[in-house]
Amino acid sequence: MTFLVPLPVVIPLLGAALTLMMARRPAIQRTVSLTALVATLAVSSMLLALTVTEGPQVVAVGGWPPPLGIVLIADKLAALMLVVSTAVTLCVLVYSIGQGSADGDEETPMSVYHPTYLALTAGVTNAFLSGDLFNLYVGFEILLVASYVLLTLGSTENRIRAGTTYVVVSLLSSVIFLSALGLVYGATGTLNMAQLAGRFDELPDNLRLLLQGMLLLAFGIKAAVFPLGAWLPDSYPTAPAPVTAVFAGLLTKVGVYAIIRTETLLFPDGRIGDVLLVISLLTMVIGILGAVAQSDIKRLLSFTLISHIGYMLFGVALATEAGLSAAIFYIAHHITIQTTLFLAAGLVERRGGSTALERLGGLGKIAPVLAVLFFIPALNLAGIPPFSGYLGKLGLLQAGVDASGPLVWAVVAGGVLTSLLTLYAIGRVWNLAFWRTPHPDMPRDDADFDGGAMLPKLMVAPTIALVAFSVALTVVAGPLFAVTSEAAADLITRTPYIEAVFPDGAP
Amino acid sequence: MIPNLVYVVVVGVLIGAGVTLLLERTLTRVLIGVVLVGNGVNVLILTGSEFGTPPIVGETPEDGMSDPLPQAMILTAIVITLGITAFLLALAYRSQQLLGHDEVQDDAEDRRIIDLAERDEGPDAKENGDDGLPHPVYHCAPGKEGR
């Protein structure tokens, strides 16, 4: 069944080529992209089932045996990330189709949108599946270049300004990543991750620390970790709602995934765990303080996104099985929730005409469905029991308490504080946008609204689906935690990954 | 392996000059900076590889062959840099079309929040005294447009 492994990359790329050829036939484009993503989701689910029952699945691309060729490898972590991310991308695609057909295509030219969106998906899946550092770089570049195009769609003044910052910062991180690759290759003579795991153990300590630092810096920019994350709230909110949603859900998490993969596989000694702890604390607290200060829903959500990256980093910094397991669970939860919230914010923008809090009000009375769609993921994000956000945070804090130590206690306290402040920030949005008397400028009903229906069914349905998915994550939290702790155990022992690539031992 | 000093100096100069240009505000200069840094990193990858005869099996003895993998990686990196350079040029051109210049601007929302903080009226101010009057909307801080 290893032929399944490359399919999550190949199917979206094929779909991207087809949709590009069909640029003048929107109906065919929509069918092709939907089919491609449904197929990718099906394949990813099969891969997850396979990795849980049979262990990591490996494919040597082009038949070149490792370490000569590039390997794609799906272990439990990668397969889980694949399933969650494709499910989310599929929902966002349906949402954007709904938005496109309701709006007309002036702001978002759909003929470019579909191929780029599929290329973005291929980049994300490639990064998840890659068993080779250079291929990981290529995956990052595919998704970044696609994201440059999506962010500047329609090339309005605002998007050009936001796009410039985003492109330049991303380029910087790519350059750092690439030079780290050059140095890694010069030092070890390989870029195959399974082989690197052994070779890194033989390097002198200071050299390893340098390489680790460079890789962390590159991934930290992509993951928007504290001192490196200032680009995110400036660039994300200006994009079209579905684009912001998918970026918020996936792109930073790919960075976090890369951090988890390299920290556990290549640098397992956890020497800079303390540094990571401090960074995670600062990311959480400073991110959420930024969110509290915002007066626009999309920007506020961008800051909560940065802040909650800190939780995942906390799990990585602990480098215990419980910590990693909770971090993986938290990533799955956060991809879903953050995307849902941005989709809901897109609906708020449609219904209320703005996402600025001062121009909204009374949405709870005017649009009760929308209010529910915002309320559930909002509580989930803040970590109110019994939702998955609560379970994820509980798992992380529990892992922190088990590890103990003054620094860990500080981060645990910071985590609780961040959770409370998230509740405050979200509660503020709720009070200002959904309660109060309705703002006089807001459109009353469909007749007032010049763009057709105010809340098109095709936009509401995927949002409902994602809310349902996030609730489902809560319901299956038990089995899911079992999978994530197995994935974490595999990450810590490293042998399942290495033996899957080199059954006879690494050369 | 001891790297060639000339290469190391070239890498240093290219990346140093590139970073200096990256810190500029004009997008065209940033673009040239990106190209310089990109090339600097390409040379850096080359510095870490082994030099020798052309890597063609059967033509040259296998001991003295140069390592082909870094060259393949550099080729990939060059293609990626090419695409991104084209995209950045398009961005700079579009910026020139829209604004008449291609300088990277401050975030309007950031400036607005700073401005509100200076006037000491956050977005919550309206909550306390909802007088039904239209609330002023600042698109950007007065007097800071050209920055």
Inter-chain CB proximity A234 and B107 less than 8 Å: yes
pLDDT value, residue A103: 63
Tens-place pLDDT, residues A37-79 = 999 999 999 999 999 999 899 999 888 888 888 999 999 999 9
Name the residue in chain B with its Cα closest to that of A357.
Answer: B123
| B88 and B129 assigned to the same domain | no
Joined together, the tokens standing for residue A67 give 């370490």
| B86 and B49 assigned to the same domain | yes
What residue has token string 């529910």? A372
What angle do the packed helices A388-403 and A457-475 form, to 10 degrees? 40
Distance CA A57, CA A74 (A): 5
| B88 and B113 assigned to the same domain | no
Nearest to B31 by CA among B106, B108, B103: B103
- The H helix count followed by the E strand count for chain A is 21, 2
Over the Cα atoms of chain A, what is R_g? 22
pLDDT < 70: residue spans in chain A? 101-110, 443-453
pLDDT value, residue B121: 61
Name the residue in chain B with its Cα closest to that of A151.
Answer: B91
Number of domains present in the structure of chain A: 1
| B60 and B117 assigned to the same domain | no
pLDDT value, residue B142: 41
| B92 and B26 assigned to the same domain | yes
DSSP conformation class of B67: P
Helices marked H in chain B: 5-22, 27-47, 68-99, 108-119, 125-128
Q: Which domain holds residue A432?
A: 272-475
pLDDT value, residue A140: 95
pLDDT value, residue B126: 46
Inter-chain CB proximity A167 and B91 less than 8 Å: yes
Distance of CA B93 to the CA centre of its chain: 16
Tens-place pLDDT, residues A350-394 = 888 888 888 888 888 888 889 999 999 999 999 888 899 999 999
Nearest to A250 by CA among A30, A440, A437, A85: A85
Inter-chain CB proximity A358 and B22 less than 8 Å: no
Tens-place pLDDT, residues B40-68 = 999 999 887 777 888 888 888 878 888 88
pLDDT value, residue A464: 94
Q: With contacts defined as CB-CB under 8 Å, which chain B residues touch A299?
A: 109
| B77 and B147 assigned to the same domain | no
pLDDT value, residue B122: 54
| Residue A199 counted as domain residue | no
Predicted ipTM? 0.85
What residue has token string 């070239």? B10
pLDDT value, residue B95: 87
Residue B28 at interface with chain A, using a CB cutoff of 8 Å:
no
The pLDDT confidence band at residue B103, using thresholds 50, 70 and 90, is confident
pLDDT value, residue B83: 92
Environment class of A328 (CB within 10 Å of its CB; exposed 0-12, middle 13-18, buried 19+):
buried
The pLDDT confidence band at residue B123, using thresholds 50, 70 and 90, is low
Inter-chain CB proximity B41 and A179 less than 8 Å: yes
Residue B135 has pLDDT above 70, yes or no: no
Inter-chain CB proximity A185 and B73 less than 8 Å: yes
CA distance A331 to chain B (A): 29
| A480 vs B146 pLDDT, higher one | A480
Residue B103 DSSP SS3: strand
- Which residue in the set A175, A183, A356 is minimally distant from B48, CB to CB? A183
Report which residue type is found at B31: L
What percent of chain A shows pLDDT beyond 70? Answer: 96
Distance CA A457, CA A369 (A): 12
Query: In angstroms, what CA-CA distances link A467 with A13, A239, A240?
Result: 28, 22, 20
- Which residue in the set B41, B94, B137 is minimally distant from A160, CB to CB? B94
pLDDT value, residue A307: 94
Positive or negative torsion for Cα A51, A181, A198, A280: negative
| Residue A494 counted as domain residue | no
pLDDT value, residue A404: 81
DSSP conformation class of A62: G
| B14 and B42 assigned to the same domain | yes
Tens-place pLDDT, residues A161-184 = 888 889 999 999 999 999 999 999
Query: In angstroms, what CA-CA distances link A222 with A143, A177, A409?
Result: 11, 10, 27
| B9 and B71 assigned to the same domain | yes
Distance of CA A497 to the CA centre of its chain: 23
**Residues A119 and A13 sit within 8 Å (Cβ to Cβ):** yes
Positive or negative torsion for Cα A379, A384, A385, A391: positive
Q: Which of A175, A196, A234, A429 to mutate to probe the B interface, most B CBs <10 Å?
A: A175
DSSP letters spanning A279-326? HHHHHHHHHHHHHHT--BHHHHHHHHHHHHHHHHHHHHHH-SHHHHHH
| B95 and B121 assigned to the same domain | no
| B126 and B71 assigned to the same domain | no
Q: Which domain holds residue B125?
A: 107-147
Long-range Cβ contacts of A122-125 (<8 Å, 24+ apart): A122/A9, A122/A12, A122/A13, A122/A16, A124/A85, A124/A89, A124/A250, A124/A251, A124/A254, A125/A8, A125/A9, A125/A12, A125/A40, A125/A44, A125/A82, A125/A85, A125/A86
| Residue A175 counted as domain residue | no
Q: Which of B22, B45, B138 to mutate to probe the A interface, most A CBs <10 Å?
A: B45
| Residue A53 counted as domain residue | no
Q: Which residues of A472-481 are buried (b: 16+ CB within 10 A; e: fewer)?
A: ebbeebeebb
Number of domains present in the structure of chain B: 2
Prior bond of A67 cis (ω within 30°): yes
pLDDT value, residue A225: 92
What angle do the packed helices A76-103 and A477-493 form, to 10 degrees? 130
Longest dimension (CA), chain B: 87
Q: With contacts defined as CB-CB under 8 Å, which chain A residues touch B88?
A: 167
- Which residue in the set A181, A299, A431 is minimally distant from B109, CB to CB? A299
CA distance A112 to chain B (A): 15
Residue B98 at interface with chain A, using a CB cutoff of 8 Å:
yes
| pTM attached to this predicted model | 0.91
**Residues A59 and A130 sit within 8 Å (Cβ to Cβ):** no
Joined together, the tokens standing for residue A60 give 């040597």
Residue B82 at interface with chain A, using a CB cutoff of 8 Å:
no
